[in-house]
Structure 1
Amino acid sequence: MKDFAALFTALDQTTKTSVKTAALAEYFAAAPEDDKIWTIALLSGRRPRRAITTTKLREWAAERAGIPLWLFEACYPVVGDLSETIALVLPAPTTRIEKSLSDWIATLRGLDNAEEETRKAAILDAWDGLPPIERFVFNKLITGGWRMGVSQKLMTRALAKATGIEEAELTHRLMGDWSPDNVTWDSLIEAPDPTADLSRPYPFYLAYQLEGATEDQGDVADWLAERKWDGIRGQLILRGGERFLWSRGEDLMTDRFPEFAQLIDFLPPGTVIDGEVLAYDRDAEAPLSFNKLQPRIGRKTVPKKLLADAPCILMAYDLLEWHGVDIRQTPLIDRRTILADALSDLSPDLPIRLSPRVEGESWEDLAEARAISREIGAEGLMLKRLSAPYLAGRKKGDWWKWKVDPLTIDAVMIYAQAGSGRRATLYTDFTFAVWNGNDLVPFTKAYSGLTDAEFREITAWVRKNTTDRFGPVRAVKPHHVFEIAFEGIQASPRHKSGVALRFPRMARWRKDKPLQEANTLDDLNAMLAEYG
């Protein structure tokens, strides 16, 4: 644990990517293999299941510190991090416990089914045997709240530096359904055949929002334009007579979309397709709204009624593997030709479609096609250079998102809540309302879009204009108007307003607009009728 805590400290004390990469590479070169595997798992979101609730941790920490719980709770938002708050209030350790990172994780996992008194005793003993920084890291292992400023890309770069293995190769090896319980350092990192795991997907290629004018991209004939649909980006993998469906966030979704099983009979083994999972009206040959797809996202099993209410297809964008051969370095124009040929003779009853090319002889033609995106349920266009390979991660130059401008509405801030982490002392999470006659009806929350200076300014105002408190939430005097931007709107019986927004954020603080000129619920319903 001492070495991992030192790594955590080194990463926490710098914002320089080169320094973080060097610290990680040094750690990966020297740490025990079990600890290295768990470090990779923690930094890539594969965390052990939480054995103890944060409520109990707060109670036990206050008790051990000899302070009332209300005082601990008052300290927590000031510090901004539960693990750090606990580490700060506890008395100095009276002994020293030496365990590795993997040993401490094994200890915590062994408490899963233990009685509360046993769990409490184990946690108190650990707190009493660890110096402050290791105690802090230990608390992080319990809560799972890792924020080390390390992206998976940075971690992979450090692994490449430590092992001499190509970064792109390591990126692929770290994908898929693995955990420290079913891999070793050798099988995950050093093994020569990363495709031995049949289910392993390829790293997704991601695009940036288009920068500058389309004309800056050169000849329009060099580009493939496609609709950017609002679904779930996924990779369909057909290998060894089995199928696997992975989301972009590395969530294995196979069981949620059983209709894709039939594709095993029509596409060859060793096929990997990148596409968008969409709820789809096969009679109209058109995608349905994301609202139709959403009920299937969180399901482990899908009942027949839901299958009938939200039939899905894979809108196929790209072909990454064909007959077991990785073809990502093949130019897009050739990959698409193979994909089109593979899908050309398939029955329309099968749940897959080739993403149609949006035709245009000029950038102006494509701009006109983009302008109708929202009317057909799309978010805009994707632009992909026909000569480009399929890369890993977010890159600039060959793939661009050309999204339509967001919808906007002016709304009144009525509630505020403090943020977390470095924003724990600022009010950053707000609830907004629109007018319904003489009443303000809440309809959305937003927490991004303002500068740090604006957050400080609104925080000072909230503190002076609080009218009521509901736990951490403050009701404030209706006064400030904000322009709320969002990507879509849909009916929602769960909300008092009857609507729900997709990706709401604060576009700007409308200090120029008086309270009475904020938008109305009728305005929202008009948007719902047009775009919902």
Structure 2
Amino acid sequence: MRDFAALIEGLAFTPGRNGKLRLIADYLARTPDPARGYGLAALTGDLSFRQVKPAAIRALIAERTDPVLFGWSYDYVGDLAETVSLMWPASAPAGQAPTLTQVVERFAAARRGEVPALLDGWLSALDESGRFALLKLVTGGMRVGVSARLAKLALAEWGKVDINEIEELWHGFEPPYEELFVWLDGRGPRPVPATGLGFRPLMLSNPLDEAALAGMDPAAYRAEYKWDGARVQLAAENNRVRIYSRAGDEISAAFPDLADAAMGLHAVLDGELLVADAGTAPDGVAIRPFNDLQQRLNRKKVTAPLMRTHPAHLRLYDILFEGDEDLRPLPFDARRARLEAWQARTQPDRMDLSPLVPFADWEELAELRSVLRDASVEGLMLKQGDSPYLPGRPKGPWFKWKRTALTLDCVLMYAQRGHGKRSSFYSDFTFGAWRDGEAGRELTPVGKAYFGFTDAELVELDRWVRRNTVNRFGPVREVEPGLVLEVAFDSVQRSRRHKSGLAMRFPRISRIRWEKPAEEADRLESLEAMLPDSLLAGAAPAD
């Protein structure tokens, strides 16, 4: 564990991206198999220790420290692994410190009842850094500023191959990825996954600089709606189906209804995952707000009632493979023609085409965008007709032209500490709008945001929260209603999950209104007036 602990500690205290890449590459170069593969899997989130629960860790530390002291310490530190690693009583090592490989393989074979004894012995045998790394490993919350993509990029740079090769091979192998390391070490050929259902890196767009439109030829571009769902890739082959998020995480288990609909197909498709009701709109499919899709996201299992009330739907943008034929080198116009022909021929359930938006010039398209406020549309996409499907975010071929953000002046109500390098700051803010209650004017929460401000502004916000706290609820502080935040968001939807009955989409703090009195902040009616016309007309609210 010593080398892995040093890596985790180094990553936690290295702010720069290039520095983190060097640390990971150095770890891969000097660590033998299978430990380096397990370390890489820990950083990418591909190791799971389901039998290790945070409650078991809390129970262990409660036996060795004062529970009240631990509670106050945990509230201040904001991280369970860091708090336990620092508070674990120093003593003579209870046994030999485990290696990373021993930890992974022993937990893989352990029953839940054996976990506390294993943790107890290992925590007592390790120093503070080792305890921290062990607990981060088994709880699955690294929070050291390394995304799965960055870890794979470090692997690619160390192995001197393109990151897209790593992405395409990644899902064909399991930790500790010995086949990949044989190839990257130069000890064998490029491995071939046992299935063609691996993830292909998505082609992404760049934000449109509207000033650049004058120099762009409208005839060279195709326009589509940017649907407000989740971008996914669906790979189907020989009655096997996998659904991937845009980051390459497999999410098939959360959408078995869509996977079942794709059985028998042989293609790799790019599209937007939505919740939709078939046969309830003039075009045959009514797209529901993103808030409905959230009920299906991030679930390991999904119930039959939820699938009935929130049916999954895939709106198709592109086709990457038809059968075994790789269509990515073709221009967009040719791929679009192949997609339309494929869809007409197969007519798959729970799928339809994202329509192209006709336009003659940029002025016409800008006018359309200016009135675009449908609950299921975020804006427009512009794609060059001759562009091949390139992985990553190439500059030039594709642009996203999002609709103008909505804003509302809200009052700060609650604050909570962040995680990682923000664990010492109150950085997660809940804000509200005014409404008339039984006892008179009152604030009701309308959203929560934790970005949009600078580091310097975070320091000022944290100081204000500490000086104006009126109540505490565990890690949450209630503050005096005296600070106005201008909140920007993409849209608003009805929601039964929120006390106000409304939910903001992508809220972020755009400005701190230090000068504005709290009583002059906006009312709930102002937010309700921003609802799309379809919802104002009385459509059923989302769960």
TM above 0.5: yes
- Per the TM alignment, residue 310 of structure 1 is displaced from its structure 2 partner at its CA by 4.3
Partner Cα distance (2:303, 2:62) in 1: 44
Residue identity matched to 1:28: L
1:179-194 to structure 2, matched below 5 A, reads: 179-180=174-175, 184-186=177-179, 190=183, 192-194=190-192
Conservation of the 8 A alpha-carbon contact between 2:257 and 2:311? no
Q: State the Cα distance separating 1:175 from its structure 2 match.
A: 3.6
The answer on whether the counterparts of 1:256 and 1:302 sit within 8 Å (CA) in structure 2 is: no
Stretch moving more, 184-193 or 459-468: 184-193
Superimposed CA distance per residue, residues 101-151 of structure 1 (whole angstroms, 9 cap, x where no aligned partner): 12112233444421xxx5433323212212332222112123222023233
Aligned to 1:57: 57
Equivalent residue, structure 2, for 1:372: 371
- The CA deviation at 1:497 is 1.3
Question: For 1:211 and 1:92, how far apart are their aligned partners in 2?
Answer: 57
In structure 2, the partner of 1:471 is: 474
Structure 2 counterpart of 1:22, one-letter code: R
Cα distance change, pair 420–10 in 1 and its aligned pair in 2 (3 A): closer
CA drift of 1:402 comes to: 0.9
- Report 1:442-521 matches (<5 A): 442-521=445-524
Q: Secondary structure at the match of 2:143?
A: coil
Report the CA distance shift for 1:373/1:260 in structure 2 as closer, same or farther (over 3 A).
farther
Moved over 6 A (4+): none
The equivalent of 1:209 in structure 2 is: 207
CA distance in 1, matches of 2:519, 2:233: 49
Could you give the per-residue CA deviations for residues 170-226 of structure 1, whole angstroms, max 9, x where no partner exists? 1111146x543xx74116874745453243221222223223524166212222211
Are the aligned partners of 2:253 and 2:300 in contact in 1 as well (CA < 8 Å)?
no
Provide the C-alpha distance between the structure 2 equivalents of 1:306 and 1:145, rounded to a whole number of angstroms. 28
Q: For 2:403, give the aligned amino acid.
A: V
1:403 is aligned to 402
Distance 1:447 1:151, change over 3 A: closer
- After TM superposition, the structure 1 = structure 2 runs for residues 66-215 of structure 1, keeping only pairs within 5 Å, are 67-95=65-93, 97-114=96-113, 118-175=114-171, 179-180=174-175, 184-186=177-179, 190=183, 192-215=190-213
| Alignment partner of 1:429 is 2:422 | no
For residues 357-414 of structure 1, the C-alpha deviation after alignment (integer angstroms, 9 at most, x for no partner) is 1122222122122223213631001122223232333443322221101222211112
Alignment of 1:231 onto 2:225: no
TM-score calculated relative to the size of structure 2 = 0.86
Write the deviation string for residues 409-457 of structure 1: whole angstroms up to 9, x where unpaired.
2111122222222222222222222111212222222222222222222
CA–CA distance in 1 between the matches of 2:324 and 2:226?
Answer: 28
* Residue 381, structure 1, aligned to residue 377, structure 2: no
Secondary structure of the corresponding residue to residue 243 of structure 1: strand
Change (3 A) 1:259 1:163: closer
Could you say what secondary structure the match of 1:358 adopts? coil
Q: Mark the runs of 5 or more structure 1 residues left unpaired by the alignment.
A: none
Q: Which residue of 2 aligns with 1:526?
A: 529
User: What are structure 2's unaligned runs of at least 5 residues?
Assistant: 184-188, 536-543
SS in 1 for 2:529: helix
Q: What is the deviation of 1:499? A: 1.5
CA RMSD of aligned residues (A): 2.8
Counterpart code for 1:53: K
Measured in 1, the distance between the counterparts of 2:380 and 2:67 equals: 53
The separation in 2 between residues aligned to 1:259 and 1:81, in whole angstroms, is 37
Q: Contact (CA 8 Å) 1:489, 1:528: kept in 2 or not?
A: yes
How far does residue 4 in structure 1 lie from its aligned partner after superposition? Answer: 1.8
One-letter amino acid matched to 1:99: P
Q: Kindly provide the amino acid, as one letter, of the partner of residue 370 in structure 2.
A: A
